[in-house]
């Protein structure tokens, strides 16, 4: 996979920092030296020491447990290599081999390959390029999550070809919720755009995360629908997470990052390329329990996402469309091959097997034990506490008042709604509807 080359080494031309010189040298100059001239790659000789990238990354000012910064440099350097499948690399890392060892081995393999490949340099220069990308990510407010990180989404780790590194703008916790991908035509009719908006809003209202690709048409309609319901949504890009494409979706990307996450496996600064978009489709489906296709032609990229979902053992569903419109032929082919017909969000919830779980949760709530949602506990519930009688609040207001993230609030609000304690009103507002306490 090509991620683009030519890292800007200008980031490393700041004056040498004595306190960071030793740490930087240890991070970069780790290859055993047989000839003294190899030391020319060390910052001690080049005067390019720059170790701001050694700071652990965080989201919202809250540091979290992650791989060591030195390992992160090796992970990012690995992700820059033209490796077609990341599964073997991820399995070696989980088996205990360090990314540093794998990087050196991969570079040796590439150097021995007589085929026409661009020059990659040695491990030290690769780590310099990786450090430059990490520096750019920090400046853009991005979080790097590797396949060895505890925050790496479990659903994505289970696919055939999981990304080695995810770059996240927003909250990594948004990647953990049960997700549904909604994909389709970039030139959707007003009808199918309304369908995508409605399905996304209804699913988000049930606490499901809406995942799509931030493209024009169905993708953007799905993101907006989830946001309008106060839900969580994730956009997977075919460029760097700090690059917005299409450009007019910049404000939408900002809203998504504030409510969920904008992610990419491509290093920061990577411009969009046509071959990146089919590759990112496996991430869209891999994060989700099901993929819903709305208005897809016979050669639509949405069918690639559907095939990825099938390969990953995930459900594929489709919305039927106008038989006179050629843009529906791909979706109708999926239906002929066994995809479930979708008319409402209830069809998706039922197909995912969430109905029984919802009924069980409602029964458990109604028969709450003293340690459960008893009337006394409900009176001190933080969500109910901020919803005064007759006062409506949106998800952002509830999050600010309770200090709870949206990813935790939505399931709780849905649960309270099932119990008849909270009512959803227009405009993504919630109001307390409690006659029992």
Task: Look up the pTM and report it.
Answer: 0.66
Q: How many CB atoms lie within 10 A of CB 313?
A: 9
Whole-number Å distance between alpha carbons of 287 and 216: 21
Least confident of 32-41, 267-276, 421-430: 32-41
Predicted local confidence at residue 384, as pLDDT: 81
Residue of 263, 195, 203 lying closest to 230 (CA atoms): 203
pLDDT tens for residues 317-344? 999 988 877 778 888 989 888 889 999 9
Q: Which residue has the higher pLDDT, 432 or 50?
A: 432
pLDDT tens for residues 254-284? 999 998 999 999 999 999 988 888 889 999 9
CB 384 within 8 A of CB 417: no
Q: Which residue has the higher pLDDT, 30 or 195?
A: 195
Beta strands in 300-364 (DSSP E): 315-319, 340-341
CATH of 172-351, one of 3.40.630.40, 3.40.50.12160, 3.40.50.450, 3.40.190.10: 3.40.50.450
pLDDT for residue 401 is more than 90: no
pLDDT confidence tier of residue 211, bands split at 50, 70 and 90: very high
**What number is the average pLDDT over the span 355-362?**
46
**What number is the average pLDDT over the span 406-418?**
70
Angle formed by the axes of helices 69-79 and 18-28, nearest 10°: 50
CB 356 within 8 A of CB 413: no
Predicted local confidence at residue 13, as pLDDT: 29
pLDDT confidence tier of residue 213, bands split at 50, 70 and 90: very high
Whole-number Å distance between alpha carbons of 12 and 115: 32
pLDDT tens for residues 5-15? 333 323 222 33
**What number is the average pLDDT over the span 14-26?**
33
Q: Which two tokens stand for residue 47?
A: 């005067």
Q: Which residue has the higher pLDDT, 1 or 142?
A: 142
**What number is the average pLDDT over the span 304-312?**
92
**What number is the average pLDDT over the span 130-142?**
88
pLDDT tens for residues 168-189? 999 888 998 889 999 998 887 8
- % pLDDT > 70, the chain: 69
**What number is the average pLDDT over the span 195-199?**
93
Q: In 3-state terms, what secondary structure has residue 38?
A: helix
Per DSSP bridges, beta strands 340-341 and 392-394 are unpaired
- % pLDDT > 90, the chain: 29
**What number is the average pLDDT over the span 341-365?**
70
pLDDT for residue 238 is more than 90: yes
- Please state, in angstroms and as integers, the Cα–Cα distance from residue 96 to each residue in 99, 102, 161, following that order: 9, 11, 19
**What number is the average pLDDT over the span 121-132?**
78
pLDDT for residue 1 is more than 90: no
Q: Where are the domains of the chain?
A: 9-152, 172-351, 362-432
Mean pLDDT, the chain, rounded, equals 74
Question: CA torsion sign, 203 to 204 to 208 to 210?
Answer: positive
Predicted local confidence at residue 120, as pLDDT: 52
Least confident of 155-164, 272-281, 350-359: 350-359
pLDDT for residue 417 is more than 50: yes
pLDDT for residue 359 is more than 70: no
CB 175 within 8 A of CB 197: no
Taking domain 362-432, whether its CATH number is 3.40.50.150 is answered by no
Q: Which two tokens stand for residue 371?
A: 């340690």
pLDDT for residue 248 is more than 50: yes
pLDDT for residue 159 is more than 50: yes
**What number is the average pLDDT over the span 349-366?**
58
CB 348 within 8 A of CB 222: no
Predicted local confidence at residue 128, as pLDDT: 84
Residues 6+ apart with CB under 8 A from 376: none
Q: Which residue has the higher pLDDT, 58 or 300?
A: 300
pLDDT for residue 311 is more than 60: yes
Q: Which residues pair with 293 in a beta bridge?
A: 183, 318
Predicted local confidence at residue 234, as pLDDT: 97
CB 220 within 8 A of CB 250: no
Predicted local confidence at residue 389, as pLDDT: 60
Asked whether the bond before 43 is cis by omega within 30 degrees of 0, the reply is: no
């Amino acid at each position: 996979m090509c991620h683009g080359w030519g890292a800007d080494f200008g980031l490393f031309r700041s004056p040498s920092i004595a306190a960071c010189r030793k740490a930087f040298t240890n991070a970069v100059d780790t290859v055993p030296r047989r000839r003294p001239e190899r030391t020319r790659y060390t910052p001690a000789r080049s005067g390019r020491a720059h170790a701001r990238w050694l700071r652990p990354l965080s989201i919202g000012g809250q540091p979290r447990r992650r791989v060591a910064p030195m390992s992160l440099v090796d992970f990012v350097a690995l992700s820059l290599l033209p490796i077609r499948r990341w599964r073997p690399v991820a399995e070696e890392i989980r088996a205990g081999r360090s990314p540093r060892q794998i990087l050196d081995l991969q570079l040796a393999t590439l150097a021995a390959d007589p085929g026409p490949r661009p020059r990659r340099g040695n491990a030290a220069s690769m780590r310099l390029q990786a450090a430059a990308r990490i520096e750019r990510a920090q400046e853009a407010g991005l979080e790097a999550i590797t396949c060895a990180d505890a925050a790496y989404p479990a659903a994505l780790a289970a696919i055939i070809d999981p990304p080695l590194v995810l770059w996240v703008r927003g909250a990594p916790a948004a990647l953990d919720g049960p997700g549904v991908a909604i994909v389709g035509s970039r030139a959707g009719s007003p009808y199918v755009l309304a369908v995508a908006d409605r399905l996304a809003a209804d699913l988000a209202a049930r606490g499901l995360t809406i995942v799509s690709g931030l493209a024009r048409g169905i993708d953007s309609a799905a993101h907006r629908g989830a946001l309008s319901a106060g839900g969580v949504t994730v956009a997977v890009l075919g460029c760097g997470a700090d690059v917005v494409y299409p450009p007019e979706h910049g404000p939408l990307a900002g809203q998504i990052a504030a409510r969920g996450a904008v992610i990419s496996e491509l290093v920061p600064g990577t411009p969009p390329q046509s071959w990146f978009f089919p590759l990112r489709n496996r991430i869209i489906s891999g994060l989700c329990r099901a993929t819903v296709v709305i208005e897809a032609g016979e050669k639509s990229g949405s069918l690639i996402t559907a095939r990825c979902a099938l390969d990953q053992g995930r459900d594929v569903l489709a919305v039927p469309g106008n038989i006179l419109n050629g843009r529906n032929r791909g979706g109708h082919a999926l239906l002929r091959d066994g995809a479930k017909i979708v008319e409402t969000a209830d069809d998706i919830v039922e197909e995912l097997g969430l109905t029984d779980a919802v009924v069980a949760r409602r029964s458990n709530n109604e028969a709450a034990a003293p340690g459960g949602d008893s009337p006394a506990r409900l009176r001190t519930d933080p969500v109910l506490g901020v919803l005064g009688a007759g006062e409506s609040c949106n998800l952002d207001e509830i999050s600010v008042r309770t200090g709870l993230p949206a990813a935790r609030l939505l399931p709780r609000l849905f649960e309270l709604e099932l119990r008849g304690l909270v009512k959803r009103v227009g405009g993504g507002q919630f109001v307390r509807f409690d006659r029992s306490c």
